[in-house]
Structure 1
Amino acid sequence: MSDTPADRPVVTRFAPSPTGYLHIGGARTALFNWLYARGRGGKFLLRIEDTDRARSTPQATEAILKGLTWLGLDWDGDPISQFERKDRHAEVARQMLASGAAYRCFSTPEEIAAWREANPRQPFQSPWRDATDLPDAPYAIRLRAPRQGETVIDDAVQGQVRVGNDQLDDMIILRSDGTPTYMLAVVVDDHDMDVTHVIRGDDHLTNTFRQVQIFDAMGWPRPVFAHIPLIHGEDGKKLSKRHGAVGLHEFAALGYPPEAMRNYLARLGWSHGDDELFVDEQARGWFDLSGIGRAPARLDFKKLEHVSGHHIGIMPDARLLAALDAFRSETGAASLTQRQKDRLMPALPALKEKAKTLPQLLEQARFALIDRPVDPDEKASKSLDSVSRGMLAALTAAVQHGSWTRDELERAAKRVAEDHGAGLGKLATPLRAALAGRTATPSVFDMMTALGREESLARLQDQTDLAG
């Protein structure tokens, strides 16, 4: 089955409701739409479905835009407000009424409730569908849905799905107060925006049976539908707060880089052979609808950490430094000073090999972010006795004028340790304390090369001055 309408440039859309934060499932839906459009030279549009005025908030809209921007997904044109298009939606409802594809329904809420009570498990059948003697009273406009046969959808993920038309009612498309319903608004907007592919969660599949009836009634071409399975927790149950982070902002706060999130989310429900780790260019070239599975994907934090560590490891140092600075700002910490950046940059090649997240990297890089005098913690202080301070003084003298390279520093430290009848470990522990104030740090020689001669010797001198 082809997944591209003939002679139509690809247009996808992400259409969130601004009623809360951007869920990780919504972020994946946006990513799939973005990858599909960008990989085919098409357009990726953003529509804010804000027709629920009681629940929609500007703050939620801003959070969605911020989340998509953080994730690195750009969209074409300005975001479209569904609410602002309500007059267009109502116009289409009236067109359908004029053509006979819809009709006026004067049934009151009380009458509808009474009918449903008397006819449980049956779709409501309006007595006004074929009426000719109409009262002068408020009315809703209902779709004149087919009563016989089936509504069939050729879904690019789910395959052919169908429902008997006797299971669907004549849904309201325009309320008696003149406001359009969500079902109508979605169809009109998708048509007017020239959307060719509707890629969304499979919880929308039941809506699609109703929405294609509007497409058909208007004589509009249907877009390709691709309903993707939802994301479940590691226990196989629907993802919720009990599983931990579920909002995109929470993953950002945990320190997963956007590059890693794009890679990981792309693999949640989609595959390209055995490829697990890839960059954006590969994902855009590989992504297609046929690679999406039908089973729910499971959120796996261990796998996410693995993907995150990979992307931190391959990230250019300048980009990684910017990501660390942005992460600190987002979490309320002060921006990196130029001095901190100058110390941190040469340390990144060694530090990023082991870090899985940005906070982990920042913790390893603490030695580069602190200033003199270094205040050792309680455990580190215990290693700074008179003997170890004497070794630090000897090391200071040994490296005062030599070549400041990692190999040369290591050779000098080994000689000093041997002169004191000790192994390198006996010197490394107080050296860590002097340079970083901790006993668990990156390699002492990586720290010294990153800090440079002047700063390293000053930190050692601060401790040897205390020898007595």
Structure 2
Amino acid sequence: MITVRFAPSPTGYLHVGGARTALFNWLYARNTGGKFILRIEDTDVKRSTQAATQAILDGLQWLGIDWDEGPYFQQARLPIYQEYAQKLIDEDKAYYCSCSVDELENLKKQAVNIGRAAGYDGRCRDKGEKKGVLRLKVTEGSTVFYDLFRDKIEFDNSLIGDFVLVRSDGMPTYNLTCAVDDALMGITQVIRGDDHIPNTPKQLLIFSALGLSPPRFGHIPLILGTDKSPLSKRHGAVSVMAYKEAGFLPEAMVNYLALLGWSTTNSQQLFSKEELIKKFSLKRIVKNPAVFDMEKLRWMNGVYIKQANPVDLVSIVRNYSSQRVWGEGTTPAPPWKEGELKETTPLLEEIIRLYQGRIKVLPEIYEMGDFFFSEQIKIEEDVVCEILGKDGVKTLLWETGQVMESLTIFDAISIEGAIRDLAERLGINAGDIIHPLRAVLTGKRVSPGIFEVAALLGQEMVMQRIENGLNIINQE
């Protein structure tokens, strides 16, 4: 059975590169009917935290990446690593080294000065030390493996040197724990970032020394920013959960991550998760680094928002309500109640429906549609000058207010009919009424259909804003 794993270190959040690695492993397991294992590599005691572990789990769960086994924690498996370390000692394949930090530093400097590799030279191999760090006796020759995505890769063992398996405090190193766990968990393919390529020969040497069968290794290129430098905070958020907080949908994030280094033969861009599972293949993973393009992610997220059921978005949008910053002198208006969104808000669902085709991330609803969420709005200065300042607008607004107030049914159809009837009666274009009405109801030049906007604001709020607009005109 195909068995893969995602093995993050809980020293920070789940970043974009790690999420893509997890996704590729998960898709491969689901595509082949294999097994996906989650392993938390927490042997770096000083840097590993419970908060980071939870952040990793939260990120995977938000993306919908589930696991078949685990999470396994390496801290709980220390006796296993100690057993295998002792096996290497008993078979004279590892030895203790008592060299001090200063000695090792001088050794490196000497090696550099004479143009030799800076790997440890094995000077403690035959000393019979009983304590210190435990090092592997690296054999002569070379270590070769055939990368799933890069073909043959070869390392000269003399350049590797006798590397550390167990630290002086008894804590096993990454390469020992990784090799032992991959063997015991039956990992068949290791799919990870190409920053791990230098670790692979060391792990293969450990597999060989322990007489264990290694998995196949495949290293995917790193993710770059649009300027072709390694992805960092200056290119946008790096933490996966930061994208959730910014208003991205998990379906869009999964779709986008899948395309960072993988594609189909027809360059398809939009995939459901089921399609990704069906079409994913290691053969389509590319060797060149992928470029993280925030604008493309925003576009893709906008597509998913547009296609979503507004009912499903209500609870997500509501979660952004606490991030809303109210302007000075403003108070929450429907669908707000005492500063918080109501538990059930049909109105919010309709507001979402109005903006689904306009926004790229969900919090933009509060930016574009801020007039829905404040009793007092600020009308943009150019709107006041260029629209409300025109001759005859004051009279038109007053007439519009009279018509709005007279309606007994206040829905979009009734409002549109009343406005068009008024325009016909006055012998003008409906747009001559619509533009000033939009200005006083929204404070903007552009908005969704003004008839739908007015209906959602409600008759009382519409009348209040028309009155406010007339007051502004009188002050000009």
What is the match of residue 442 of structure 1? 448
What is the match of residue 353 of structure 2? 349
1:56 to 16, 26, 48: 48
1:168 positional shift: 1.9
Whether 2:248 is the aligned partner of 1:281: answer no
Provide Cα deviations, 1:368-424, integer angstroms capped at 9, x if missing partner. Answer: 444xx554535467739642332323432674348x454x54343222123234322
1:298 positional shift: 0.9
* TM alignment of 1:59-74, pairs within 5 A: 59-74=51-66
Whether 2:40 is the aligned partner of 1:80: answer no
1:253 positional shift: 3.0
- Cα distance in 1 for partners of 2:122, 2:133 equals 11
What is the match of residue 421 of structure 2? 415
> Counterpart amino acid of 1:423?
N
What is the match of residue 400 of structure 1? 408
Whether 2:297 is the aligned partner of 1:304: answer yes
What is the match of residue 431 of structure 2? 425
Q: Indicate how the Cα distance of structure 1 residues 68 and 441 shifts in structure 2: closer, same or farther if over 3 A, else same.
A: same
> Counterpart amino acid of 1:283?
L
What is the match of residue 370 of structure 2? 366
> Counterpart amino acid of 1:161?
I
Whether 2:311 is the aligned partner of 1:318: answer yes
1:110 positional shift: 4.5
- Answer yes or no: is the 8 Å Cα contact 2:20–2:258 preserved in 1: yes
> Counterpart amino acid of 1:422?
I
1:107 positional shift: 4.2
Whether 2:105 is the aligned partner of 1:99: answer no
Provide Cα deviations, 1:294-327, integer angstroms capped at 9, x if missing partner. Answer: 1111111221111111111111222222321234
What is the match of residue 329 of structure 2? none
Q: Indicate how the Cα distance of structure 1 residues 188 and 346 shifts in structure 2: closer, same or farther if over 3 A, else same.
A: same
Report the 3-state secondary structure (helix = DSSP H, G, I; strand = E; otherwise coil) of the residue aligned with 2:143.
strand
- Answer yes or no: is the 8 Å Cα contact 1:398–1:412 preserved in 2: no
Report the 3-state secondary structure (helix = DSSP H, G, I; strand = E; otherwise coil) of the residue aligned with 1:119.
helix
Whether 2:462 is the aligned partner of 1:456: answer no
* TM alignment of 1:48-197, pairs within 5 A: 48-120=40-112, 121-122=116-117, 123-129=119-125, 131=126, 134=128, 137-148=130-141, 150-197=142-189
1:439 positional shift: 4.2
Deviates further, 249-258 or 305-314: 249-258
> Counterpart amino acid of 2:146?
D
- Answer yes or no: is the 8 Å Cα contact 1:28–1:266 preserved in 2: yes
- Cα distance in 1 for partners of 2:365, 2:93 equals 62
TM-score normalized with structure 1 length: 0.86
Deviates further, 415-424 or 152-161: 415-424
- Cα distance in 1 for partners of 2:312, 2:437 equals 30
Report the 3-state secondary structure (helix = DSSP H, G, I; strand = E; otherwise coil) of the residue aligned with 1:358.
coil
Report the 3-state secondary structure (helix = DSSP H, G, I; strand = E; otherwise coil) of the residue aligned with 1:163.
strand
- Answer yes or no: is the 8 Å Cα contact 1:394–1:416 preserved in 2: no
1:35 positional shift: 1.8
Q: Indicate how the Cα distance of structure 1 residues 100 and 117 shifts in structure 2: closer, same or farther if over 3 A, else same.
A: same
Report the 3-state secondary structure (helix = DSSP H, G, I; strand = E; otherwise coil) of the residue aligned with 2:226.
coil
Aligned length: 447
Report the 3-state secondary structure (helix = DSSP H, G, I; strand = E; otherwise coil) of the residue aligned with 2:27.
helix
Deviates further, 29-38 or 270-279: 29-38
- Answer yes or no: is the 8 Å Cα contact 1:202–1:230 preserved in 2: yes
> Which stretches in structure 2 are left out of the alignment for 5+ residues?
327-338, 472-476
- Answer yes or no: is the 8 Å Cα contact 2:29–2:36 preserved in 1: yes
Deviates further, 323-332 or 267-276: 323-332
Q: Indicate how the Cα distance of structure 1 residues 388 and 192 shifts in structure 2: closer, same or farther if over 3 A, else same.
A: farther
- Cα distance in 2 for partners of 1:464, 1:405 equals 17
What is the match of residue 24 of structure 2? 32
1:329 positional shift: 5.2
- Answer yes or no: is the 8 Å Cα contact 1:143–1:171 preserved in 2: yes
- Cα distance in 2 for partners of 1:78, 1:205 equals 25
- Answer yes or no: is the 8 Å Cα contact 2:95–2:128 preserved in 1: no
> Counterpart amino acid of 1:361?
I
- Cα distance in 2 for partners of 1:393, 1:177 equals 80
CA RMSD, aligned part only?
A: 2.8
- Cα distance in 1 for partners of 2:213, 2:308 equals 44
TM-score normalized with structure 2 length: 0.84
Q: Indicate how the Cα distance of structure 1 residues 307 and 174 shifts in structure 2: closer, same or farther if over 3 A, else same.
A: same
- Cα distance in 1 for partners of 2:128, 2:350 equals 81
- Cα distance in 2 for partners of 1:348, 1:39 equals 35
Report the 3-state secondary structure (helix = DSSP H, G, I; strand = E; otherwise coil) of the residue aligned with 2:197.
helix
- Answer yes or no: is the 8 Å Cα contact 1:377–1:437 preserved in 2: yes
What is the match of residue 3 of structure 1? none
Provide Cα deviations, 1:70-96, integer angstroms capped at 9, x if missing partner. Answer: 333223344222223222111111112
- Cα distance in 1 for partners of 2:48, 2:201 equals 26
